[in-house]
Amino acid sequence: MFKRKKKVALALGGGAARGLAHIGVLEAFEKHGLPIDMIAGTSMGAIIGAIYALEPSVAALKERFQAYLASDAFKETRFNQLGDQNDEDAGMFDRLLQLAWKGLFYTLVVTRQSYYGKSTSQQNFSLMIDDLTFADTHIPFCTTALDLKSGQEVVFTSGSLRRAVSASCAIPGLLPPVEEGGGLLVDGGWIDAVPVAPAFGLGADVVIAVDVASDLEPCGELDNALDIIGRADSIARWALSTERCSKANLVVRPRNNRSHWADFSLFHEAVAEGVAAVEEQLPALERLVSSNRGLLSRFFR
């Protein structure tokens, strides 16, 4: 009896700068001829997934992303300064500037919806995502966001690709929420850090999850309320991500947790970690995508 080819989807999770490892995962899939029939992405996974779905070429993806990171628009965001400043060679004046900038950041995020305004957000997303629709992708693609009003996950499969990705990447407090259909949408990572279920919803038989922030980081000093709030949020998101990934057929976990989520300077290192993570599980991946046995995903069991 003829058995149809199984459809394989990648579920690319959030993780900000750590999500650059997704590029390495895609590179390894290309290198080893592993199929990608569809992609679901959240947050940084949405950006990388959308770019690749529009033009399935890792070389083009790298060129596009590196051009963005070198752009004046990205530099003006000073996004890297959100990271922990542990440079022992920094002088006293530099340290005072860093502290002053952080003080300004904390002041702004409690007096308006987000640190970055809509114009800054739109300018940056326009450099990364072409003004096209989901129908223009060469690979079926979806992305997710959280509606703050209903508390529900919103899955985008049609309409403006740029607008959907900007909603999926709207980090609470940093980037402005996106108003859509009466809802107020923010980063999908707060409800579906690794979008396994949406990937199955696209029609996939096999879903390979890519979790770039799988480890719960060591607990630092909890000296103030912000530290405690941040730690509680990290634990909740880690637990949710673990639960979501348990529904996938296989999970790829790049080891790039050494870098800060806001530090985009380690581009090549993050990409290399993505390649290494795939090659570490290559035999299992090849068995999974090449088998023609009637496999029902664990998600629907």
Determine the pLDDT at residue 90: 45
3-state secondary structure 205-255: CEEEEECCCCCCCCCCCCCCHHHHHHHHHHHHHHHHHHHHHCCCCEEECCC
Query: Look-up: residue for tokens 């390649």?
Result: 275
Cα–Cα–Cα angle for 21, 24, 26, rounded to 5 degrees: 115
pLDDT value at 2 more than 50:
no
User: What pLDDT score does 151 carry?
Assistant: 94
Measured CA to CA in angstroms, residue 45 lies from 195, 235, 243 at distances of 9, 21, 18
- For 33, which DSSP code? T
Query: Residues with Cβ < 8 Å from 224, sequence gap 6 or more?
Result: none
pLDDT over 90 (residue 49): yes
| pLDDT per position as a tens digit, 123-176 | 888 888 999 999 999 999 999 999 999 999 999 999 999 999 999 999 887 788
Alpha-carbon distance of 238 to 62, in angstroms, equals 28
Facing residues of 178 across strands?
A: 185
**CA–CA gap between residue 138 and residue 267 (Å, rounded):** 26
Least confident residue range of 80-89, 101-110, 125-134, 184-193: 80-89
- 275 touches 28 (CB < 8 A): yes
Matching residue, tokens 């750590």 = 18
Q: Which of 37, 43, 168, 205 is catalytic?
A: 43
At 269, which amino acid appears?
Answer: E
> Cα–Cα–Cα angle for 243, 249, 145, nearest 5°?
50
Q: Is 43 a known active-site residue?
A: yes
Residue showing tokens 């530290």: 227
Model confidence at 83, pLDDT cuts 50, 70, 90, reads low
Q: Is 3 exposed, middle or buried (0-12, 13-18, 19+ CB in 10 A)?
A: exposed
Question: Do 266 and 176 form a contact (C-beta atoms < 8 A)?
Answer: no
For residue 8, the SS3 value is strand
pLDDT digits (tens, 9 = 90+) for 96-136: 445 455 665 666 656 666 667 677 778 888 888 999 999 99
Residues 6+ apart with CB under 8 A from 137: 50, 53, 54, 161
- pLDDT, one tens digit per residue, over 213-269 is 767 777 777 777 767 877 787 788 888 888 889 999 999 999 866 566 667 778 889
Segment (H or E) for 95: helix 92-109
Predicted pLDDT at 93: 46
Residue pair 262/80 in contact (Cβ under 8 Å)? The answer is yes
Q: Output the pLDDT for position 297.
A: 39
Give the pTM.
Answer: 0.83
Exactly one of 37, 147, 187, 211 is catalytic; name it: 187
* CA distance readout (Å), 229 to 93, 188, 191, 232, 233: 30, 19, 17, 5, 6
- Specify burial of residue 68 (Cβ count, 10 A radius: 0-12, 13-18, 19+): middle
Which residue would you say has higher pLDDT here, 42 or 224?
42
Mean of all residue pLDDT scores within the chain = 83
Give the per-residue pLDDT at 298: 42
- From the list 163, 155, 159, 164, the residue with the least C-alpha distance to 134 is 159
Return all residues near 67 (Cβ < 8 A) that are at least 6 apart. Answer: 127
**pLDDT score, position 96:** 46
* pLDDT in the model for residue 300: 35
Of residues 259 and 93, more confidently modeled: 259
